[in-house]
Chain A
Amino acid sequence: MKQRKNRPPILANWLASKFINEALLEELFGDLKEIYEDRIATKGKFYAKCMYWVDTFHLLIGFGSPQLFKNKPAIMYEHYLNIASRNLMKNKWYSLVNIGGLTVGMGVCLLIFQYTYFELSYDKFHDNFQNTYRIITDKTQNDVDDVFASTTYGIGPTGKETIHEIKEYVRMTPQFGGTIVTNPDKNESFSERNIFYVDTTFLQVFNFPLKLGSKESVFDGMYNIVITQKMAEKYFGAENPMGKPLNLSSKGEGLAVGNYIVSGVLEDLPINSHLQFDFLLSMENYMKLGWWGQIRERDNGWKKSRFVTYITLEESANLDLVHKKLNHLTALYRSEITARENIVEKVRLQPIADVHLKPESYMHSGYVTNYGNIKNVEFFLIIAFFILFIAWVNYINLSTARSMHRAKEVGIRKSIGAFRKQLISQFMMESILVNLTAALLAIGLAFSSLPILSGIIGKELELNILQIPMFWGWFSMVIIFGSLLSGLYPAFVLSSFKPISMLGANKTSRAGNTNLRRGLIVFQFLTSLLLISGTYLVHKQITFMKRQDLGLDIEKVMVFNGPERFLDRSTLEAFTTEVARHHSISGVAASGSLPGDGWSKWNLHKPGETITEGQFATPLGVSLNFPEVYDLEFLAGSSFVQSMSNEDYVVIINEEAVRTFGFGSPENAIRKTLIKPGKETEEYKIIGVVKNFHWLSLREPYGPCLFVLSVEGAGFSYFSFKTNLSDIQESLTHIEKTYKSFFPVDVFDYFFLEDEFNRQYQADLQFGNLFLAFAALAIFIACIGLFALVSFSATSRIKEIGIRKVLGASVNNLMMLLSSEYLMLISIAVVLAIPAILYWGKAWLENYAFRIDIEFDLFIIPALVLVLASIITVSYRTYATAKANPVDSLRKE
């Protein structure tokens, strides 16, 4: 959205120069430019641009004289324009179908353009985005490839020192877990999760404008904190937050807590930024106050990969060379570690403009929660064009079908001396008029339906492509292309008629090439059918995923957040017992993560094996009665018992883990041990094996995992309990009271696990809903086209029908006669659609480890929907024609 200069809209100037007398232009442009500059300074660019347009149009109305047509045979064009608009007015139905269809098609295109533009605009508002990169680490361990969007602490600063192409670096790491932020003046606390530690160069590398405070000095003080505008309002209301205190407290260990002073307020972050945060703290604090201070001392910061590093390069830098140098650096400092753990490691640079749209399957996502997907964007772009194409097809079909009605006009024009070229340009004029009208209406439509799109994709969009000259270029290209595409064929057909055959008594010439028309109708219905099937498939898969038995009971499970502190065994037990005292609560379990989140991996191996033979499994830290609360089904062994403690290192594994580690059968796995490299003294003893369960969405296959018993610690982020829904309010009050008495400073928050789990299907649902909207539009446009076509063929065959009726044909017979052709075309479309649905349906379902089978209903139901829709459309018209009294139709001549 950032442009190089504040230039006024070029297109407006161009338009004005076409219509306004040259002598006036210098002065007018001067004034316009001057007021434009003023407005930018006072009211912002968007306002200035809008007003520039308003003023230009006003001047156009005041001073405009159409110079476009002045030195050309203007009379002729004016005449064409007249005829075209009269024709449109005369056949209101026909015009409505054409313009309406095209409006919807172009409106959808506009919206999708906007959506695409928005998705492509991610992180491009940074001044130097072209030279800014995120460092990605590719690791291969025991033949498993993983992509990490994270790096070590050391690579940034050391890289800047030793590689001269690197101009600047910024590291970022979040405050793990929840943090309680308090405004001591008001004594108000909230639990916050979006707190980043960043290097002091953060605001220089990234363009997040400061509303208050200065870029250079916001991190000068040790206890400085930068907050966003949203947070400023949340904590300070209308007061000026600068210099005010904020207190941060968290689970004791490892994090930089304390009393901070607000040193800067950022404007609210643009939504097209992959970095989304509420608070910024200096990286220094993390090192001095936090856990990870040890990192630097121990390994010079080259061991743990917990930081995301962004770097900016010199403009002239050779990317390959920088890659080589960075890898050299990594090898230098990390070879010992990588060799020990049998890891092959490579780093590479990812342009920040690619971060949002080209995500990979990250093992570590770089603390970004919401990636986009370029495939979806491309896919929707294609669909939008298909819908537009359906609308153009309507125009082609209708104008050729209608050609009989205009045959006389063409005949007369030809006999009084019109050239074919002139006729073609006349019909082209009509198509341009229709397309242009539709385009203007489409802009209005796009404006009014933008909130709907925003609702579906869950992001607040603005129609800001209208401000870009490039867009208008593209848009006029679309209009010109559309006018040519939809106008050329009818123009050639209509102008090719021989005058004698049109004016004579026997009008024998058939209107247009009916095969082409049939082909186009089949195409329309094929497209609609594919869209309906797609919608149906997506919704069926989502329903399947939601209904599938997870192997874990998450229904009626409620979760509340754990306190931000270390819990020793006695406190934990006292607390859970107290919570469970309420009659409607059957059991309370604490855990580090919940179904639906967290999927880290440990490399484990059996005793006697070496690290190179290790396998990956997911560790889940849980309290004693977690298996009972979640109804895990034991295949062998038994659950945790009261006498066990953290130091016993007992685990329960799942079937998949039995398979991965090669224990043979669940029974065999019991009492076996697993070793985590580097901690050889801690052997994990397997005491039970449970059936496979879905910890994550059904997109993912079952993974090997182990429940690690934890009876005390700081990692209890969540407490889950089962409740019967009738007493929910009462039990919540009870829990909150207990919570407050145990942990008075923590903030109590709760949710239903099932809702949270299903949130994983949010993206699929959005996809399905967009699909549904597209399918509905496609069918709608295709059907109104069909309706108009049937109407025309019915009116042109009205005499034939009259005679047939007189000779004894029934209404049913006649309806069949009129609609059988279209029904046949639809059947062809259905047959053609089957292989396409099979192919694409399969390809899409490949994304899901657990998926539905493609069954017969996937073809039948969409086909039925389509057939039903078109029968309703067709029969409405044919019935009226067939019912009509033959006397009326035969009497007219």
Chain B
Amino acid sequence: MKNKGLGEFEELVLLAVCILDKEAYGLSVKREVEKHSGRSILLGAVHITLYRLQDKGLLRSEMGGNTEKRGDRRKRLFTITDAGMRQLRAAQDVRRKMWQLIPQLKLGL
């Protein structure tokens, strides 16, 4: 479980959770990811990913504030765990290292 790398979509979701900082729940994550990646995503995909990340121990969650707009239902707010942060950093490191290995000539493209 631990050392499995992050999927691309998982990484986006994790990043969105970090950006949103305590305001991350299904719909806000969906909007955030859509905003940055420019593609449209199904709500269900976000939910499923959030729960999978929680199962992997990269996220934790608690029930939070309700609003009129939601029909008085509470949100589940997600925050990133230390393990999650480590994974993100690791992913970032891998990329940076690999980028550095690309021969200079080709970078000009």
Contact = CB atoms under 8 A, between A and B. Distances in A.
Contacts of B67: 34
A54 B73 CA distance: 21
A28 B47 CA distance: 8
A30 B42 CA distance: 15
Contact of B47 (A26, A34, A37, A59): A59
B38 interface: no
A55 B43 contact: yes
Contacts of B45: 58, 62
Interface string A40-58: 0000000000000011001
Interface residues of A, number: 18
A62 B26 contact: no
A61 interface: yes
Contacts of A288: none
A840 interface: no
Given A37-B69, A62-B48, A30 B75 contact: yes
B5 interface: no
A30 B71 contact: yes
Interface string B28-44: 00100000000000111
Given A35-B27, A55-B42, A58-B42, A30 B47 contact: no
A32 B69 CA distance: 10
A31 B71 contact: no
Interface string B53-75: 00000000001001101110111
A27 B75 contact: yes
Contacts of B25: 27, 31
Interface string A4-36: 000000000000000000000011111111110
A43 to B, nearest CB: 12
A33 B70 contact: yes
A752 interface: no
B70 A34 contact: yes
A26 B73 contact: yes
B74 A59 contact: no
A29 B25 CA distance: 13
B69 A31 contact: no
B63 A31 contact: no
A16 to B, nearest CB: 11
Given A28-B26, A35-B27, A55 B73 contact: no
B44 A30 contact: no
Nearest to A8: B71
B63 A27 contact: yes
B44 A27 contact: no
Contacts of A62: 44-45, 47-48
Contacts of A29: 70-71, 73
Contacts of A31: 25-27, 43, 47, 70, 75
A59 B70 contact: no
A63 interface: yes
Of A27, A28, A63, the most chain B CB neighbours within 10 A belong to: A27
Contacts of A32: 43
B30 to A, nearest CB: 8
Given A31-B25, A31-B26, A58 B44 contact: yes
Contacts of B69: 33-34, 37
Interface string A51-94: 00011001101110000000000000000000000000000000
Nearest to B67: A34
Q: Which of B27, B43, B67 has the most CB of A within 10 A?
A: B43
Contacts of B47: 28, 31, 59, 62-63
A29 B44 CA distance: 11
Interface in B1-43: 25-27, 30, 42-43
Contacts of B74: 26-27, 30
A33 B76 contact: no
Interface of A: 26-35, 37, 54-55, 58-59, 61-63
Interface of B: 25-27, 30, 42-45, 47-48, 51, 63, 66-67, 69-71, 73-76
When A and B form their complex, which 6 residue pairs have the shortest distance between CB atoms, in order from nearest? A58-B44, A30-B73, A30-B70, A27-B76, A62-B48, A31-B26
28 contacts: A26-B63, A26-B73, A26-B74, A27-B26, A27-B74, A27-B75, A28-B47, A29-B71, A30-B66, A30-B73, A30-B74, A30-B75, A31-B25, A33-B73, A34-B69, A35-B27, A37-B69, A55-B43, A55-B44, A58-B43, A59-B43, A59-B44, A62-B44, A62-B47, A62-B48, A63-B47, A63-B48, A63-B51
